[in-house]
Amino acid sequence: MADYETFQHDVLVIGAGGAGLRAAIEASAAGVSVGLVCKSLLGKAHTVMAEGGIAAALGNVDDRDNWKVHFADTMRGGQYVNQWRMAELHAKEAPDRVRELEAWGAVFDRTKDGRILQRNFGGHKYPRLAHVGDRTGLEMIRTLQDHGVHQGIEVYMEHTILALLKDGERVVGAFGYERERGRFRIFRAKAIVLATGGIGRAYKITSNSWESTGDGLALAYEAGAELIDMEFVQFHPTGMIWPPSVMGILVTEGVRGEGGILTNSEGKRFMFDSIPENYRTQTADNSEEGWRYCLGDKEARRPPELLTRDHVARCIVREIKEGRGSPHGGVYLDIAWIKEKMPNSAEHIKRKLPSMYHQFKQLADIDITEQSMEVGPTTHYAMGGIHVDPDIQMSRVPGLFAAGECAAGINGANRLGGNSLSDIVVFGKRAGEFAAKFAKENSLGQIDHGKLEIVAREGVAPFERNGAENPYQVQKDLQEMMQDLVGIVRNENEMRSALGKIDNLKSRAAKVGVTGNREFNPGWHTTLDLENLLTVSEAIARAALERKESRGAQFREDYPNKDERFAKVNTMISKAPDGSMQIRLEPLPEMPDYLKQVIEEMK
């Protein structure tokens, strides 16, 4: 048996984005020893890319806001298949988490009277997103990292976890490798928190970083946890589409929150044509009112560009499909038009949207204070993920917790912008707290060395193959296939075909060979990520097939309407004893009367 270097902690947190850092801080504060593992360097997690802001009903800009309105907005955005208890905890606790970030040193933009400023975002009734220009994620990571490094958390950077280790039913450790040298490592722990982020890299066009290969979901699935609502993948309406090298990079919703409008090749503001019935009373029906809303007029209704993301994305796809797109296959997003309304518009845009200004200037040679942007939908966020207990964040595997984008339930069929940054700190904190509690109540388990040997052998197997398949080609084929067959608009035939292709890609992935040695070898890393991407892709396709209706982010052209049969169920995916992927429909827990009443009142 090989002798691998072993590390030992009470709580091991896998992932150092906002959720992982917040969990590590909380566990450490509870007095247990904490290890924090991440694929990249500390501070470089995907959270750093978040732009628009963090949603919390602070009521600083509009004092009509409170947790009840936030809860009702989140449930409506999620089309009522959210785990209501998570949505409730999130709405109630987000303001405290934001104030805590401020107390730890986050410098949010301010109102004139010195309070945390909040901006408009799609689906939120009132201005609710605390922000730092369009670099909110950077400030959050900086703050959490600064706070965390003083707490004695042991950080293992550039380490990738390949498998979770169990003693009977309970999770007792993790096995992985350090990316620089390729050496294997064992992490023993009494409790584990998965905070590995999203799955965007399963698709060709995505706003997600290279880390988002669904590792946590696949690790949890293999360990016996269930995945919930995998069909709900959010396609953000506005990603860059030109030049090709930057395709998919996000154009924050903050642009529309600051007054940006969407137009087609005929110059028409097409979003006015498609206001859904249930949003009609909240949505402006003329440009002037929409603009007044962006300027903070409390009496005005919001512009149609700020309807939910799924709706805006589908309207954009419609314009493109019907031949009213821009030259590179998108539509126009125009913030420059506000110069008609504001004498100092260029400075205003640069101050409110500095990253967007530089992003377009440097990557596309476009000055957004003068010209409109070309944008199109990009795969952005996974509403589905690891099923956890809403209060304590533990999966059905004892000792295995999950928080942040890799966990699921709060967002239902669609997430409102800004609700992820608040989700990761609300539930990151809870996961850390309850993982520490679990660790105090349990001892270290036994490591199964036989299992270790199998994982280690599989890990190095690509070096022993003759390389009949190339890892990058298999990854590319998977991403293109998911984009084409399990994308924004879905139907049964295409998704059945996708499942066949996934089987084929699995066989090809098993033949992938890599050359060179284990020292920082990107081909090898890509090969190891492939299995996770294949697992999440299959889960998305199976869940999307099972939900025979259109709801939130899932649009089925063969079932274009909502269906009562699916109004109160979640899809649940798990691994069967024979190794196959199983899916079942699980009824939602009954919502208590006081929350039903909140929703009624807010209607």
Q: Report residue 123 as tokens.
A: 């689906």
Select from 154-162, 224-232, 350-358, 439-447 the region that touches ligand FAD (CB under 6 A).
154-162
Residue 40 beta carbon to ligand FAD: minimum distance, rounded to whole angstroms: 5
Strands 400-402 and 184-194: parallel
Residue 506 beta carbon to ligand FAD: minimum distance, rounded to whole angstroms: 19
- Annotation marks residue 236 as catalytic: yes
Residue 52 beta carbon to ligand FAD: minimum distance, rounded to whole angstroms: 3
Instruction: Work out which of 12, 13, 19, 307 binds ligand FAD, going by CB under 6 A.
Output: 19
Select from 16-24, 143-151, 387-395, 539-547 the region that touches ligand FAD (CB under 6 A).
16-24
Contact 505, 462 (CB under 8 A): no
CA distance 432 to 439: 10
Contacts of 3 (CB under 8 A, 6+ apart): none
Q: Alpha carbon of 600 to those of 155, 245, 411, 539, 603: distances in Å? A: 47, 47, 19, 34, 5
Contacts of 288 (CB under 8 A, 6+ apart): none
Asked if the peptide bond before residue 243 counts as cis, ω within 30 degrees of 0, the response is yes
Q: By C-beta, is 39 or 311 nearer to ligand FAD? A: 39
Q: By C-beta, is 137 or 290 nearer to ligand FAD? A: 137
CA distance 272 to 37: 47
Q: Angle of helix 419-441 relative to helix 84-103, nearest 10 degrees?
A: 90
Contact 355, 51 (CB under 8 A): yes
- Annotation marks residue 490 as catalytic: no
What residues from 29 to 88 belong to the interface with ligand FAD (CB under 6 A)?
A: 37-40, 45-47, 49-54
Select from 195-203, 354-362, 383-391, 458-466 the region that touches ligand FAD (CB under 6 A).
195-203
Q: By C-beta, is 44 or 314 nearer to ligand FAD? A: 44
Q: By C-beta, is 18 or 304 nearer to ligand FAD? A: 18
Active-site position among 76, 124, 256, 269: 256
Q: By C-beta, is 90 or 292 nearer to ligand FAD? A: 90
Q: By C-beta, is 45 or 512 nearer to ligand FAD? A: 45
Burial zone of 304 (CB within 10 Å; 0-12 exposed, 13-18 middle, 19+ buried): buried
Residue 151 beta carbon to ligand FAD: minimum distance, rounded to whole angstroms: 17
Residue 178 beta carbon to ligand FAD: minimum distance, rounded to whole angstroms: 11
Instruction: Work out which of 9, 11, 18, 241 binds ligand FAD, going by CB under 6 A.
Output: 18
Does 197 bind ligand FAD (CB under 6 A)? Our answer is yes
Q: Which residue is nearest to ligand FAD (CB)?
A: 17
Instruction: Work out which of 193, 421, 495, 505 binds ligand FAD, going by CB under 6 A.
Output: 421
Strands 331-334 and 261-263: antiparallel
Residue 558 beta carbon to ligand FAD: minimum distance, rounded to whole angstroms: 30
Closest CA to 467 of 509, 525, 526: 509
- Partners of residue 159 on adjacent β-strands: 178
Q: By C-beta, is 15 or 173 nearer to ligand FAD? A: 15
Q: By C-beta, is 423 or 494 nearer to ligand FAD? A: 423
Does 136 bind ligand FAD (CB under 6 A)? Our answer is yes
Contact 105, 146 (CB under 8 A): yes
Q: What is the DSSP string of 203-252?
A: SSSBS--TT-S-HHHHHHHHHT--EE-TT-EEEEEEEE-SSGGGTT-B--
Q: Sheet harboring 54-55: ordered strands across?
A: 54-55, 129-130, 118-119
DSSP state of 37: E
Q: Report residue 406 as tokens.
A: 């890799």
CA distance 22 to 433: 10
What residues from 81 to 120 belong to the interface with ligand FAD (CB under 6 A)?
A: none
Q: By C-beta, is 424 or 495 nearer to ligand FAD? A: 424
CA distance 207 to 202: 11
Does 469 bind ligand FAD (CB under 6 A)? Our answer is no
Contact 68, 596 (CB under 8 A): no
Active-site position among 46, 236, 309, 508: 236
Select from 14-22, 93-101, 299-307, 493-501 the region that touches ligand FAD (CB under 6 A).
14-22
Q: Alpha carbon of 542 to those of 43, 175, 412: distances in Å? A: 35, 29, 17
Does 15 bind ligand FAD (CB under 6 A)? Our answer is yes
Residue for token pair 């004695």: 152
Phi and psi angles of residue 399, each rounded to the nearest 5 degrees, phi first: 85, -5
Neighbours of 185 (CB within 10 A): 19
Q: By C-beta, is 74 or 208 nearer to ligand FAD? A: 208
CA dihedral angle for residue 454, residue 456, residue 460, residue 465, rounded to 10 degrees:
0
Residue 43 beta carbon to ligand FAD: minimum distance, rounded to whole angstroms: 9
CA distance 264 to 243: 19
Does 381 bind ligand FAD (CB under 6 A)? Our answer is yes
What residues from 487 to 526 belong to the interface with ligand FAD (CB under 6 A)?
A: none
Q: By C-beta, is 192 or 498 nearer to ligand FAD? A: 192
Residue 602 beta carbon to ligand FAD: minimum distance, rounded to whole angstroms: 21
In three-state secondary structure terms, 571 is strand
What residues from 224 to 263 belong to the interface with ligand FAD (CB under 6 A)?
A: 250
Residue 587 beta carbon to ligand FAD: minimum distance, rounded to whole angstroms: 27
Instruction: Work out which of 418, 432, 445, 487 binds ligand FAD, going by CB under 6 A.
Output: 418
Does 143 bind ligand FAD (CB under 6 A)? Our answer is no
- Partners of residue 128 on adjacent β-strands: none
Instruction: Name the helix (H) or strand (E) containing 555.
Output: strand 555-556
Residue 211 beta carbon to ligand FAD: minimum distance, rounded to whole angstroms: 4
Residue 466 beta carbon to ligand FAD: minimum distance, rounded to whole angstroms: 27
In three-state secondary structure terms, 357 is helix
Size of the site for ligand FAD (CB under 6 A): 43
Does 123 bind ligand FAD (CB under 6 A)? Our answer is no
Active site residues: 236, 256
What does the binding site for ligand FAD look like in residue numbers (CB under 6 A)?
Answer: 14-20, 37-40, 45-47, 49-54, 136-137, 159-161, 195-198, 207-208, 211, 215, 250, 381, 404-405, 417-421, 424
